[in-house]
Amino acid sequence: MFDAQRKANTPDPLVFGPIIARSFIENTKAGWRWSYYLGIILSGISVILYQFLYHPPTYTQLHVNGKSKWQQFKELDFIGMFLFCSGTVLFLIGLSWGGTTYPWQSAHVLSTIIVGFSIFAFFFVYEAYLCKGQPIMPTRLFHNIGYVAVVSVATIGAMVYYSMTVLWPTVIGTVYTTDVKEIGWQSSVVGGGILLGQLMAGFGISYLPRVKAQTVIFSLLGAAFVASLASVREDNHATFITLGVLATWAIGYVDNITFPGVTLVCNQEDIGLATGVLGSIRALGGAVSQALYVSILNNKVGTYMPEYVSPAAVKAGLPQSSLPALFQGITAGSFAKVPGITPEIIAIVSSQVKRAYISSFRIVFYATIPFGVLLIASAFFVPDMDKFLGNTVAKRLQGKIGQETEGKSESDNGSERGAQQV
């Protein structure tokens, strides 16, 4: 059981990624490494296809200010990049260390969290008042309440998605089944639910009115279904899977509203910048949630495991002196070296380990409730985008490299002026 659990902890964002990864583990000599070999192969093919089939506008077509590439490079906000990356890394290290590698009150944890948070706070001060060039996160973007709401909804949705890619296989592998293939198929719930929601949102944005109302409704559904996963029990396998599909479906729906939406609620000249900032903050939120939820899980398992397992094992006949070896066996997935162990004791211990994990998962899903409240509150501030969903084209790409845009038709110019007015 415990060996299967360790194998189940390799997440993959693709719908069928989990079962493919576990097939590699069972059927190839390289095992889990093939998950990365496959990524390398596909990335190599993508580079070749991009080289020969993708023809974007040239540098001079996109930058009409007369600055060379080297001048543009020198004006990059290197200090801001350093502050953002270093603050984020230190803060996440502190979260991941807390209660597992080191106690929460230890100097290692407190120093990394405090220093990381302080650097991150100074990053925003620097971007607002000290940066002399083009900041990577200009404060003018955050003066737009609609933009802040869209970024908040996208970030909190990502906090649910990325955390579930880590937690879901562990839930399935410790509570419901030890079969590696079954864990793989059932782990596809996360990617499949998200993709289903994104597909339906595409049609919803195109053909249903009131995009803001859709955002609010599906934010409510997403928060409710994710919180309802705290009902995890050993005897509600089908219910748990169903709730997981519904939770990721609702989050996927909201997710696919935010990415097109962010290009509509900002100024035309800031479309690329606003999208990049959204992606950075969203990724940061996902990383924080992973560290946070995994830390809660590890802390609670460390609390409940001895509380449940030790008295049950001793009552079943295991000598008190064998408890350290028993917990080593739980970690290693083998009880062969535990003195005095019997098949009956192993069955009781396995049952109590499962109970400890169930209690821990409930706390983790309870911890999603505050984020769900923030998701719902942010959704109410998302602007109604229906007026932007027309045929206006803000920026046109040329057909082939080398073509100039000076010969644009008057209708094209009119479209761009209309987009600027919006």
414 pLDDT band (50/70/90 cuts)? very low
How would residue 398 be classed by pLDDT, with cut points 50, 70 and 90?
Answer: low
The CA distances from residue 341 to 3, 5, 317, 337, 379, in Å, are 19, 22, 8, 9, 55
List, for residues 48-59, the tens digit of each pLDDT value: 999 999 888 777
Asked if 160 contacts 373 with a C-beta cutoff of 8 angstroms, the reply is no
Interatomic CA distance for residues 338 and 329, integer angstroms: 7
Measured CA to CA, the distance from residue 165 to residue 113 in angstroms comes to: 24
Residues 6+ apart with CB under 8 A from 206: 389
Token pair in block for residue 223:
């928060």
Q: How many Cβ atoms from other residues are within 10 Å of residue 399's Cβ?
A: 8
Question: For residue 93, which of 106, 82, 75, 76 has the smallest C-alpha distance?
Answer: 106
Among left, alpha and beta (phi > 0; psi -120 to 50; other), residue 232 is: beta
CATH class assigned to 146-389 = mainly alpha
Nearest in space to 180 (alpha carbons), one of 333, 20, 38: 20
State whether residue 220 is helix, strand or coil.
helix
Phi, psi at 102, each rounded to 5°? -135, 155
Distance, CA of 50 to CA of 290 (rounded, Å): 32
Q: Residue 127 and residue 139: Cα distance in Å, rounded?
A: 7
Residue 299 pLDDT exceeds 70:
yes
CA-closest candidate to residue 91, choices 107, 71, 111, 76: 111
Domain boundaries, the chain: 81-135, 146-389
DSSP assignment of 320-375: GGGHHHHHHHHHHT--TT-TT--HHHHHHHHHHHHHHHHHHHHHHHHTTHHHHHHH
- 349-393 pLDDT, tens digit per residue, is 999 999 999 999 999 999 889 999 999 999 999 988 877 776 666
pLDDT tens for each residue of 153-209: 999 888 877 777 778 888 998 899 888 788 888 888 888 898 899 999 988 888 888
Helix ranges, 54-77 (H): 59-62, 69-74
Closest CA to 111 of 103, 80, 82: 103
Structural contact between residues 58 and 47, judged by C-beta atoms closer than 8 angstroms: no
Nearest-angstrom CA–CA distance, 282 and 66: 33
Q: Could you give the CA distance from residue 5 to residue 192 in angstroms, rounded to a whole number?
A: 21
Nearest by Cα to 257 from 378, 136, 368: 378
**3-class secondary structure, 387:** helix
Least confident of 26-35, 142-151, 375-384: 26-35
pLDDT at 265 over 90: no
Torsion of CA 138, 143, 146, 148, to 10 degrees: 60
Residue 98: helix, strand or coil by DSSP? strand
